[in-house]
Amino acid sequence: MSDATVPSPHPAPRRWPSPRAALAFLVPAFLIFVVSWPDFHPADLIEGLDPSWHAGLAMARMDRLQFGQEIVFTYGPLGFLKGLNLYYTETYRLALVYQLAMHFAFAVVLFWCARRTFGAVGGFLLALLAACFLMEDPMIPLATLGAIAVLGDRGIDPGRWFAPLAGAVVGFEALGKVSVGIIVFAVFLIAILCRDGRRREPLLIYLGTAAVAFVLSWLAAGQSLGAIWDYGINSIPIVTGYSGAMSTETPGSLWQYWAALLVALIVLWGGLCSTRTVTLHRRVGVLLILALVVYTGFKEGFVRHDPGHAWAYFSTMLVIAVGLPWERFHRRPAVVSIAALAIAVFGVTTIDPIDLVHPVTRPQQLWSQVRLAAQGEKRNAEIDAAQIKLQNEVYKLSPELIAAIGPHTVTALPWETQAVYAYRFNWRPLPIFQSYSAYTPKLDQLNADALRAADAPERILRTPTNLDIEGRSTSFDTPHQTLAMLCHYVSLRAEAPWQVLGRIAAPRCGTGDRPLATFHVHWGERITLPTVPPGHLLLADVDGLQVSGLETIQSLAWRPEPRYVNLDDARVRLTTETAGDGLLLQVPPRNDYPQPFTLAPNPATISFTRGEDVRQSGGELTVKLRVMPVSGPGTVQP
């Protein structure tokens, strides 16, 4: 045997790239990072649902509120890092550092993956295109490509560093957006379980590191150890209840479902093509990861099916397709597949694709945001100017409304928390501070208990209950909360679209209720409501609206059929899980709030329907009507 064929008893030392090779890689990656930076100005604050929860997360950070107990939402105590809105210096700087690190890591990993298939030039162009089109949190595609790189044939040797790094990322991300933390945890878990060699030790390291990183991040965020359990059990129902309560459909977009199926098949086919030469369990691991990301991406894009959410699905799949380790002889079909994905992205939006690539504007935005974090005087001036703009041009509260709130503690319902920030009111939120997210009786009860507690907010800043989130009524979204608010608060000032409620010393409702009537009806069958005794309100507990049977599978795969209550000739969408909590149907006008802020619709008849089909079928519904005494006027003159 010659010397050339004698195996070395020691492995070859790891060779680090030369400075020139490192520069040839890092320069294009840095260009991708800079040119794909979000085109966004932190001080441009607007009204609406999403800006208000962004403001709420920043305010919760500054007040060091305990998540799971004082705040329950789809985001955790580090959720404020996911937005770059300029609310406070502390939250903005921390969010900027996080976004810079996340976006640079994403650009590096995406370019590294694309370059190995399409070469330096082709990989750079495709990675730049995909990064500019991505309008979603890059954490999921970043974790997906990293895990596939570990399992793929042309991937990286994970050595001993992958399990602890993955665990640290998961522990940190679990405090950002809850659903993202769960998905990333599952992606890395599959990668560790399906890798070659020993799995028990990396698995224990992964789980242990994730637990340690979670606890350390939790404590660093100012949270108490005693709130961890509540954070878990109260956050999960918000994640799982989303598809039943927040689903919507954009008319004329049926073609996008077929496009989504084609995109899913392309991504899974790419997974097969890129794992032809790896062991079976590694190939299965790659396909499981892709199937998980396609499934969760489809839920994200098509439960609430509008252009923005559909864009999130298609652009995420585009990024993953660009980063897959396609075999060399699959380059041409890979390019065709990526082009099809890009066309799908273009098709779901009215934005000109050219507007998504700004080689000058985006770097300027990045530089201005970094400078803003460093320039204290300019930053403070922008914060003050943004608050003044919110006051004068967006919310426009009158001096009388502001005086009615004064120094008292206040919460905003159903969601305009940003108004509390704009006027620097003394915020005391309900646990589910965006009350439309109280999808279950337990979450609804948390808010009701907070309104009945001794330290309840002294004022409530409200907008009308008939504001449209997919045709829902906020009174019916949270029946327990609605009743607690009616019993413990009266109207102090009402100037549409704003109302200020004040807490009263003694509740206006009686200590008990009594049954009035019970009806067993079918879907669509109309109930004529009986006469309610004077001085009483009418509540309806509805059983049978919940998702069951084969529809449970439909709900897991996509979304359930929406449920509606028909109030005479008006149709209102229901949150199915809370419909049994006591829908407030009738309140004597003297005891309710003034128009347009009334809580009860006061119908003469009701019926319940499911979906858009007028032909209703299915099981029987049980509607139990009960009455409760109520006294005192709903409005008190200050």
Alpha carbon distance, N-terminus to C-terminus of the chain: 102
How high does pLDDT run on average in the chain? 91
Task: Give residue 60's pLDDT.
Answer: 98
595: alpha, beta or left? (left if phi > 0; alpha if psi -120 to 50): beta
Residue 181 vs residue 195, higher pLDDT: 181
- The CA distance from 264 to 244, in Å, is 23
Q: How far apart are CA 560 and CA 572, in angstroms?
A: 17
Query: Model pTM?
Result: 0.94
pLDDT of residue 9: 47
Cis peptide preceding 497, ω within 30 of 0: yes
Amino acid at 598: T
pLDDT value for 175? 98
CB contact at 8 A, 72 and 432 = yes
Residue in this structure with the two tokens 């069951």, named with its chain if needed: 548
Nearest in space to 491 (alpha carbons), one of 341, 638, 287: 638
Residue 2 has a pLDDT of: 44
DSSP string, 44-95: ----SHHHHHHHHHHHHHHHTPPBTTTB-SSB-TTGGGG----S-HHHHHHH
What pLDDT shows up at residue 616?
62
pLDDT band, very low/low/confident/very high, at 1 (cuts 50, 70, 90): very low
Would you say 604 and 588 are in contact if contact means Cβ atoms under 8 Å apart? no
Digit-coded pLDDT (tens) for 240-268: 889 888 999 988 899 999 999 999 999 99
Please check the confidence at residue 557 and state whether its pLDDT lies above 60: yes
**Residue 518, pLDDT score:** 97
pLDDT score of 11 more than 50: no
Reduced to 3 states, what is the DSSP secondary structure of residue 603?
Answer: coil
Model pLDDT, residue 407: 97
* Interatomic CA distance for residues 312 and 318, integer angstroms: 10
Q: What is the structure's pLDDT at 329?
A: 66
Q: What are phi and psi of 226, to 5 degrees?
A: -65, -15
* Per-residue CA distances from 101 to 139, 169, 172, 219 (Å): 11, 12, 13, 21
The span from the CA of 336 to the CA of 98, in Å, is 35
DSSP codes joined into one string, 124-159: HHHHHHHHHH--S-THHHHHHHHHHHHHSTTS---T
Structure tokens belonging to residue 620: 């029987």
pLDDT at 14 over 60: no
pLDDT score of 276: 87
| Alpha-carbon distances of 617 from 245, 523, 532, 547, rounded to whole Å | 21, 6, 30, 14
* Per-residue pLDDT reduced to its tens digit, 465-480: 665 678 889 899 999 9
Q: Which residue has the higher pLDDT, 467 or 585?
A: 585
pLDDT in tens, 367-384: 999 999 999 899 999 999
What are the structural domain ranges in the chain?
75-356, 397-638
Residue 473: φ, ψ to 5°: -115, 130
Residues pairing with 509 in the sheet: 630
Instruction: Give dist(CA 58, CA 379) in Å, integer.
Output: 16
Q: How confident is the model at residue 17 (pLDDT cuts 50, 70, 90)?
A: confident
Q: What is the pLDDT of residue 342?
A: 87
Q: Which comes out higher in pLDDT, residue 331 or 447?
A: 447
Decide if 373 contacts 379 (C-beta within 8 A): yes
pLDDT 10s digits, 103-156: 999 999 999 999 999 999 999 999 999 999 998 899 999 999 999 999 986 556
β-sheet bridge partners, residue 19: none
Greater model confidence, 407 or 8: 407
Calculate mean pLDDT across residues 394-404: 97
Task: Report yes or no: 237 and 442 within 8 Å, Cβ to Cβ.
Answer: yes
Model pLDDT, residue 476 = 94
pLDDT band at 25 (very low <50, low <70, confident <90, very high): very high
pLDDT value at position 632?
93
Question: Which residues are within 8 A (CB) of 195 and not within 5 positions of it... i.e. 6 or more apart?
Answer: 150, 151, 158, 202, 282, 285
What pLDDT is attached to residue 48?
86
The encoded tokens of residue 502 equal 């004040």
User: Rounded distance, CA 300 to CA 261, Å?
Assistant: 14
Query: At CA 138, angle to CA 137 and CA 141, rounded to 5?
Result: 125
Longest dimension (CA), the chain: 106
Tell me the three state secondary structure of residue 360.
coil
Q: Over the stretch 54-96, which tens digit does the pLDDT of each residue have? A: 999 999 999 999 999 999 999 999 999 999 999 999 999 999 9
* Residue 575 to residue 443: CA distance in whole angstroms: 12
Write down the pLDDT at residue 615. Answer: 57
Q: How many CB atoms lie within 10 A of CB 304?
A: 19
pLDDT per position as a tens digit, 205-242: 999 999 999 999 999 999 999 999 999 999 989 988 89
> What is the rounded CA–CA span in Å between residue 248 and residue 256?
14
Give the orientation angle of helix 280-302 with respect to helix 139-151, to 10 degrees.
Answer: 170
pLDDT in tens, 432-465: 999 999 999 999 999 999 999 999 999 999 998 6
How sure is the predictor about 10, in pLDDT bands with cuts at 50, 70 and 90? very low
What is the reported pLDDT for 302? 96
Asked if residues 398 and 495 have their Cβ atoms less than 8 Å apart, the reply is yes
Residue 613 has pLDDT above 90, yes or no: no
| Structure confidence by residue, pLDDT tens digits, 46-58 | 988 899 999 999 9
Give the side-chain half-sphere CA count within 13 A for 202: 20
Spatial contact of 609 and 527, defined as CB atoms under 8 Å apart = no
CA–centroid distance for 36 within its chain: 23
The CA-atom distances, in angstroms, between 426 and each of 80, 229, 411, 619 are: 20, 28, 8, 48
SS3 content of the chain, % helix, strand, coil (to 5): 55, 15, 35
Q: What's residue 468's pLDDT?
A: 61
Mean pLDDT score, 345-364: 80
